[in-house]
Amino acid sequence: MSEEGLEGPHRLPWHQTKRHKFECEKFKEAMKEAPEKDAILLQWGQTKLKHIFEVNILLAQRELLGVEPRFGYWAKFPAPYGSRLLANTHISEEDGWKLPVEEIPTLTFQHRKPPTRRPLSSEMQDWTSYYKWRALPLSSPAALLRHFPLTIYRLLHLLAMTPDTHVAGPRRSLAIYYVRSEDEVDYLPIFGELALLLPDTDIEMVVMGSQISDIIKKATPSSLASRRYCYEYQAPAECGGGSIRIRLLEDPSDVPMELLQLLQESRFDYHMNVVIGTNIDFAGGENHLAAPIAISRNFGIPTAVTSFTRVNLANDADLIFDLFTSTGVARPGETAPSVSLNPFRCPGTKPPLQYSLPCTSNGFTAVVTRYA
């Protein structure tokens, strides 16, 4: 029944009617992106149920759907995540991907030559161009996991922080503060791709998340989680020789002193620093993200985030802007961050569907604090 048809005690108060209309307009605008969001050019994207690509159907067809460790990187481990970091070594590339050799976005290059240096960032901003550069057949489902490092690459591109040169340039260092990790801590080697995507760059990636504290407590002295760097990778020289080291940081509390100290030091220790938050839900109660986001603004550190839906991220952007305004760190003339569709989003839909809105992991991006 329309609002106009409601009478007496059933009629919505004026302020609720106004908000209802405002929310409906946001949903309508978001739905316009559904065809573009679901336009999947990869061959396996044709595996659809009721016109929607369902990831689990594809994984079941490829015998990659399950919760046991034998399913490699595809294993759907229950929370708390991070059990693989309790081992002494990472699983091999072949045991992780569980794909034919030609479909693996290899980092070891035992079965094929390394790619050339990455094309200009502006020339590689979708899955088709990435697959071409990495010589992957369109039958490879690698994008279902690779969207995490490729999303970081996309956010760095939006921040104008990607090196764009076809020849070797001066060496630079980059600290990435990854403030919200979930199950990706069980397949951290996929982030080795960043060493290929960022040539001539030495990356230190600091991974935070609600499960990190438990992982560290359970770790033995020989566990990956007990090491200063739980993952390290050096790209071949012909790819630009980038490198990455990943360390764990316990989830920051309301007063994240360790994070504060790291951010203070990194301003002097690294050429560039960035705070990245993937699949955030600030409006949904993830209040612990307020501290790293506010600290990064105070230090002028570039910050960018993603979320599952445009509506969620737009609400988060408004709350972050309110946070900046209330704490006095908003810049003159600044408005709430704008939201855009991520070309390196995870193909498919993240169930359950919310209001049938376009919804997927790392679906939408927003730049919170720009690179000065």
Q: Provide mean pLDDT across the span 147-162.
A: 96
Q: What is the mean pLDDT of residues 316-326?
A: 91
- Do 364 and 307 touch, CB atoms closer than 8 A? yes
* Res. 50: pLDDT tops 80: no
Q: Which two tokens stand for residue 322?
A: 């309110």
Q: Is the pLDDT of residue 329 over 80?
A: yes
Residue 356's contacts (CB-CB under 8 Å, 6 or more residues apart) are 31
- In this model, does residue 37 exceed pLDDT 50? yes
Cβ proximity of 180 and 211 under 8 Å: no
Degrees, nearest 5: CA angle 122-126-130 = 90
Q: Identify the residue with better confidence: 52 or 260.
A: 260
pTM for the structure as a whole: 0.88
Quick check: 302 pLDDT over 70?
Answer: yes
Domain ranges of the chain: 14-369
Q: What is the pLDDT of residue 270?
A: 85
pLDDT at 18: 43
Of the given ranges (69-83, 120-134, 348-362), which has the lowest mean pLDDT? 348-362
* 185-239 pLDDT per residue, tens: 999 999 999 999 999 999 999 998 888 989 999 999 999 999 999 999 999 999 9
- Check pLDDT > 50 for residue 6: no
CA-nearest of 265, 247, 352 to 301 is: 265
pLDDT more than 90, % of the chain = 57
Tokens of 256: 């994240």
Tens-place pLDDT, residues 216-227: 999 999 999 999
Q: What is the pLDDT of residue 229?
A: 97
**Which range has the worst mean pLDDT, 42-46, 97-101, 111-115, 268-272?**
42-46
pLDDT in the model for residue 108:
97
> Has residue 118 got a pLDDT over 90?
yes
Whether 79 contacts 55, CB under 8 Å: no
pLDDT higher at 17 or 229: 229
Question: What pLDDT is stored for residue 254 in this prediction?
Answer: 53
The phi, psi pair for 119, rounded to 5°, reads -60, 170
Nearest to 315 by CA among 371, 364, 356, 369: 364
The mean pLDDT of 96-123, rounded to a whole number, is: 95
- How high is the mean pLDDT of the chain? 85
